[in-house]
A and B are shown apart, each in its own frame.
Chain A
Amino acid sequence: MNMKPTLIAAAISLLAFNAHSAGPEFHHQPHAAGIETYGYTWNSPDQDMNRALAYKASAQRGKSAYKICKGCHKADGSGQASADYPQLAGQHATVIIKEMMDIRAGRRDNPRMYPFAGEWIVSAEEIADIAVYLNHLPVNDSNDKGNGKNLALGKSLYDKDCASCHGGNGEGDARKFYPRVAGQHYEYLLRETHESRDQGRRNANPEMVKVLKSYGDADIEAVSDYMSRLLPAKK
Chain B
Amino acid sequence: MTYPTAKFLAAVALLGGGLSLVSAALAESPAATAAANVCAGCHGADGNSVATTFPKLAGQQNKYLLRELMDYKSGKRVSEIMAPLVADLSESDLAELAAYYAKQKPAPGVAGASALMKAGKNLYLKGNSKTDVPSCDGCHEENGNGDGKFPRVAGQHVDYVLDQFRLYAAGKRTNGARVMQAVAERMSEQEARAVAEYMASMP
Show the binding face of A for B, using Cβ within 8 Å: 1-3, 5, 7-12, 14-15, 17-27, 67-72, 75, 80, 82-83, 85, 112-113, 115-116, 118, 120-121
The closest CB in chain B to the CB of A19 belongs to: B166
> Given A14-B81, A115-B179, is A70 in contact with B174 using a C-beta cutoff of 8 Å?
no
Q: Is the CB of B171 within 8 A of A22?
A: yes
User: Is B178 a contact of A72 with CB atoms below 8 Å?
Assistant: no
Interface residue from A2, A19, A67, A112 paired with B138 (Cβ < 8 Å): A67
A-B contact count (CB 8 A): 111
Within 8 A of A (CB), among B46-74: 53
Tell me if B136 and A71 are in contact (CB < 8 A): yes
| Residues from chain B with Cβ under 8 Å of A8 in the complex | 7-8, 11-12
Among B1, B15, B87, B138, the residue within 8 A (CB) of A12 is B15
Chain B 68-90, CB-CB to A under 8 Å as 1, else 0, gives 00000000000011001101110
14 CB-based A-B contacts, threshold 8 Å:
A2-B88, A8-B8, A19-B169, A22-B171, A25-B171, A26-B174, A27-B182, A67-B138, A70-B135, A72-B132, A75-B138, A116-B134, A116-B179, A120-B177
CB of B80 within 8 A of CB of A19, answer: no
Distance in angstroms between the alpha carbons of A75 and B138 in the assembled complex: 8
A173 to B75 Cα, complex, angstroms: 49
Residue count of chain B within 8 Å CB distance of chain A: 42
For window 161-194 of chain B, which residues contact chain A by CB distance below 8 Å? 163, 166-167, 169-172, 174, 177-179, 181-182
Is B110 positioned at the interface, with any CB of A under 8 Å from its CB? no
Given A21-B170, A83-B129, answer yes or no on A121-B179 (Cβ-Cβ < 8 Å): yes
Partner of B84 from the list A3, A15, A21, A115 (CB cut-off 8 Å) is A3
Please determine whether A12 and B134 come into contact, CB atoms closer than 8 angstroms.
no
Distance in angstroms between the alpha carbons of A10 and B79 in the assembled complex = 12
> Which residue from chain A places its CB closest to the CB of B174 in the assembled complex?
A26
B3 and A27 form a contact (CB under 8 A): no
Q: Please determine whether A24 and B171 come into contact, CB atoms closer than 8 angstroms.
A: yes
Q: Report the bound CA distance from A7 to B84 in whole Å.
A: 8
B127 within 8 A of A: yes
Query: Residue of A at shortest CB range from B128?
Result: A83
Q: Which residues of B contact A115 (CB under 8 A)?
A: 178-179, 181-182
Q: Which label, helix, strand, loop or mixed, suits the secondary structure of the B interface?
A: loop
Contacts from B to A (Cβ < 8 Å): 1-4, 7-8, 11-12, 14-15, 38, 53, 80-81, 84-85, 87-89, 127, 129-130, 132, 134-139, 163, 166-167, 169-172, 174, 177-179, 181-182
- Known contacts A15-B53, A71-B138; 4 additional CB pairs below 8 A are A23-B169, A23-B181, A71-B137, A116-B134
* CB-defined contacts of B14 to chain A, threshold 8 Å: 12
Q: How far is the CA of A72 from the CA of B135 in the complex (A)?
A: 7
Contact A72 B3 (CB under 8 A): no
B135 to chain A, nearest CB (A): 4
Do residues A112 and B132 form an inter-chain contact, with CB atoms below 8 A?
A: yes
Interface contact B132-A83, CB-CB below 8 Å: yes
User: Nearest 4 A-B pairs (CB), nearest first?
Assistant: A23-B171, A71-B134, A1-B88, A70-B138
Q: Which residue of B lies closest to A28 (CB)?
A: B178
B7 and A27 within 8 A (CB): no
* B84, B87, B169, most chain A CB atoms within 10 A: B84
Do A71 and B81 touch across chains, with their CB atoms under 8 A apart? no
In the complex, are the beta carbons of A2 and B2 less than 8 A apart? yes
Given contacts A71-B127, A71-B135, A116-B179, contact A11 B81 (CB under 8 A): yes
| CB atoms of B80 and A10 under 8 A apart | yes
| Given A14-B80, A20-B170, A22-B171, A9-B138 contact (CB < 8 Å) | no
